[in-house]
Amino acid sequence: MIKMAGFFKSRRRLALAAGLFCLVVSGGVLLTNGLTRQAPSANTISYNAETLFQYKTAYVGDNSRVVNLISNLPYADLRREVSLQTESIPYGVTVDYDFSGVDLDTRQIESVFRDNAVILFALIDNADVITFHAKGSLQPSAYRYLRDALQKSFDHDLREYAKDVTALETLLRSLAFRLHVQPEKYALFMSSTPGIRITPEYRGAAAKARYSAESGALFTWDFSTGEMSKGLPVIELPLGTTVYWSPLDPGGQLSVSNKNPVTVTLLDEKDQRIDEKQVTIVYDGSLFYTIEPSPGIVIGGETLSADQKTGDIDEAVGLAIKSQRTAYGAGETATEGHLVLDSEESNGTVKVYTIASFGAFGFENGIFTKVSGSGAIPTVMIFSRDENGGYSLLEYKEPQDGAGYAGSIKKMFPQKLRARVLSSQGDYPDLVRQQEAQASEYLKSIGRTAEVSAAHVDKKLPDINVDASNKLFAEYTKYDSFLNNCPYWIGDRENIENGVRYTYETAQEKAGDGYSLIVFRKTGEDGTIVEERRYKIVGGEPQLMETSLR
């Protein structure tokens, strides 16, 4: 340029115009990139085990190592202030992020934050609470994780996954491929779900997932229509499709195996295996099938309605109990009863000791009754409290059943409350009164009058051959939503479907030739018959006589 000074001097206007043009073009590009900040997409999120492991520390107060850990986690470029709670238990780490101008789905943010919290709990030995604040137009704006709550999804203490680089790599692989499984406990009498729900999540490229069950059956279910696919031991579906497992195999036999594994295999477009995980479902020998914790298995919801906050602890407890409704049979409205025995507050968290009871109410034989729910259960709830006094549920813990009951009560409750808690069944009448009062308020809100009673409604069973009864009310109902909605007794019950109320009725009549007839009927609010089926009972065989649909 110096050598050509004469050339540019004689063409000053041309050089000036060219320079301005370059400034405009380059400025537009650079300024645009600076204002539209990019964050990693779901498929580009990654963790480096060797880098992270070098910053492992025993203490939250090790400022240099903790900050370096955070700086090597996803969203590090969006990080702002880091603050450490080191004065008293619970020890915690709080990280502020600025997502302003970043286009990200809040579900991705929450997923990454959860993984980041798991890693920090693994690598910081004495960390109890991890909090991420997300500045910007995001809801919720705060994500708070307790070690005990996240620990439930792992079969070993999280610190064990950081004993060496290999163990940490195992943990990181489990985070890239997760299975969301719920409810934690399932029984055949639960009508809110036809089985245990399994939904895969994979941070990477995969075409589909293969599900294989050693016992029971796998199927899909459209909850809006009640339509279920045929139960199979093996099923392949596009990645992200929810699959259900039932302990009833395709032949109708109930699995009584102690352990019922379901293997989920990720496949690429050429059907080549990418990764594989196994959900182990444990049968208690009587009613319940329970999910066994394992790395990469996310059981139920770790937080319940993260954006649902309330300013009153009593109201917060009530909402927390109602949020457990997926563990029980469906009803028309959810109610709860509770007694708050004591509470403890420390560093923004509140632990509440309660006696709790859930009740789902619905119409049976014209009575608005408790169709499913629980008795009086000693329950410990932990809430976070924000700067505005709002409460968000972090943990909901009930005691173990059976022989482990007294021991878990001892671990959950302080000594001064144990005797009171062990006699909690005496509180059930009071809890029932609370539930019935809420059920009555619901009826008022819909302009309906009826008897409200949590007590069991008397039910008369059909007077037919036992084998025929088992086929009609156990076998035929498994994959038939209409029959499943009809009562197993002589009488009726009501369901609300897509905002419309229907009555399902089961009746017993006599056919002209003297045989018993069992009639299943669905009617609308105006009395119009929507569907009806008639079965003639010939010995142990129900014979379908006619079906009418409208």
DSSP string over 434-457: HHHHHHHHHHHHTT----EE-SPP
Buried b (16+ CB within 10 A) or exposed e, 234-251: ebebebeeebbbbbbbbe
The reported pLDDT for the residue numbered 28 is 42
Reference 254, options 311, 294, 309, 215; nearest CA is: 215
Query: What DSSP designation does 471 have?
Result: I
- Residue 28 counted as domain residue: yes
Per the CB < 8 A criterion, the answer to whether 427 and 377 are in contact is no
Residue 29 has pLDDT above 50, yes or no: no
Tokens 């950081």 belong to 162
Question: How many Cβ atoms are within 10 Å of 407's Cβ, its own excluded?
Answer: 11
Give the C-alpha separation, 191 to 185, whole Å.
Answer: 13
Q: Same domain, yes or no, for 111 and 138?
A: yes
SS3 of residue 410 by DSSP: helix
Residue-by-residue DSSP string for 504-518? EEEEEEE-TTS-EEE
Q: Pick from 453, 482, 508: which residue ends a domain?
A: 453
Inform me whether the pLDDT recorded for 85 exceeds 50: yes
Instruction: Give per-residue pLDDT as tens, 391-448.
Output: 778 888 888 877 888 888 999 999 999 999 988 888 999 999 999 999 999 898 888 9
Q: What is the mean pLDDT of residues 237-253?
A: 87
Taking residue 140's Cβ as centre, other Cβ atoms within 10 Å add up to: 18
Q: What is the Cα–Cα distance from 543 to 47, expressed in whole angstroms?
A: 61
* Residue partners of 148: CB distance under 8 A and separation at least 6: 395
Spatial CA neighbour of 158 closest among 115, 200, 202:
115
Which residue has better confidence, 12 or 237? 237
Q: Decide if pLDDT at 253 tops 80.
A: yes
Let me know whether 204 and 323 are in one domain: no
Nearest to 297 by CA among 279, 315, 283: 279
pLDDT at 178 over 60: yes
Check residue 327 and give its pLDDT. 66
Of 58-72, 282-296, 365-379, 420-434, least confident by mean pLDDT is 282-296
Q: Please tell me whether residues 277 and 406 are part of one structural domain.
A: no
Note the pLDDT of residue 3. 41
**20 contacts: CB under 8 Å, gap ≥ 6:** none
Say if residue 229 is in the same domain as residue 340: no
Question: Which of 151, 166, 185 delimits the end of a domain?
Answer: 151
pLDDT computed for residue 395 by the predictor: 83
- Token digits of residue 317: 């407890």
Residue 287 lies in a domain: yes
Shared domain for 19 and 124, answered yes or no, is: no
Q: Residue 225's pLDDT is what?
A: 55
Q: Is the pLDDT of residue 103 over 80?
A: no
Residues 506 and 419 in one domain: no
Is residue 439 domain-shared with residue 496, that is, in the same domain? Answer: no
For residue 266, being part of any structural domain is answered with yes
Report the range of poorest mean pLDDT among 250-254, 471-475, 513-517, 526-530.
250-254
Question: How are beta strands 243-246 and 234-238 bridged, if at all?
Answer: unpaired
Are 352 and 378 found together in one domain? yes
Query: 347 and 254, same structural domain?
Result: no
- Terminal-to-terminal C-alpha distance of the chain: 88
* Residue 156 included in any domain: no
Question: Of 367, 325, 334, which Cα lies nearest the Cα of 192?
Answer: 325
Position 357 scores a pLDDT of 93
Residues comprising the chain, all counted: 550
Among 275, 299, 323, which residue terminates a domain?
Answer: 299
Domains identified in the chain, total number: 5
Query: What pLDDT band is residue 107 in, cutting at 50, 70 and 90?
Result: low
Q: What is the pLDDT confidence band of residue 309, given thresholds at 50, 70 and 90? A: very low
Claim to verify: residue 319 and residue 295 sit in the same structural domain: no
User: 92-98 and 129-135 as β-strands: parallel, antiparallel, unpaired?
Assistant: parallel
For the four alpha carbons of 541, 542, 544 and 545, in that order, the dihedral sign comes to positive
The position carrying tokens 């142990």 is 540
Burial 374-406 (b: 16+ CB within 10 A, else e): bebbbbbbbbbbeeeeebbbbbbbebeeeeeee
Q: Is residue 166 part of a domain?
A: no
Angstrom distance (rounded) from CA 163 to CA 128: 18
Confidence of residue 40 (pLDDT cuts 50, 70, 90): low
Tell me what the pLDDT averaged over the chain comes to.
83
Q: In degrees to the nearest 10, what's the CA dihedral of 246, 250, 256, 259?
A: -60
Domain that holds residue 537: 466-549
| Buried b / exposed e along 497-532 (16+ C-beta atoms within 10 A) | eeeeebbbbbbeeeeeeebbbbbbbbbeeeeeebbb
Query: What tokens appear for 479 in the block?
Result: 């994959």
Q: Which H/E stretch holds residue 98? A: strand 92-98
Q: Which residue has the higher pLDDT, 307 or 22?
A: 22
Measured over the CA atoms of residue 158, residue 163, residue 166 and residue 169, the dihedral's sign is positive
What is the average pLDDT across 313-323? Answer: 85
- The DSSP 8-state label assigned to residue 154 in this structure reads -
Query: Is residue 225 domain-shared with residue 341, that is, in the same domain?
Result: no
In a domain, 162, yes or no: no
Q: Hey, is 108 helix, strand or coil? A: helix
Cα separation, 431 vs 217, in Å, equals 38
547, pLDDT greater than 90: no
* For the chain, counts of helices (H) and of strands (E): 13, 28
142 and 178 inside one domain: no
Share of the chain above pLDDT 90, in %: 41
Residue 380 within any structural domain of the chain: yes
Residue 460 lies in a domain: no
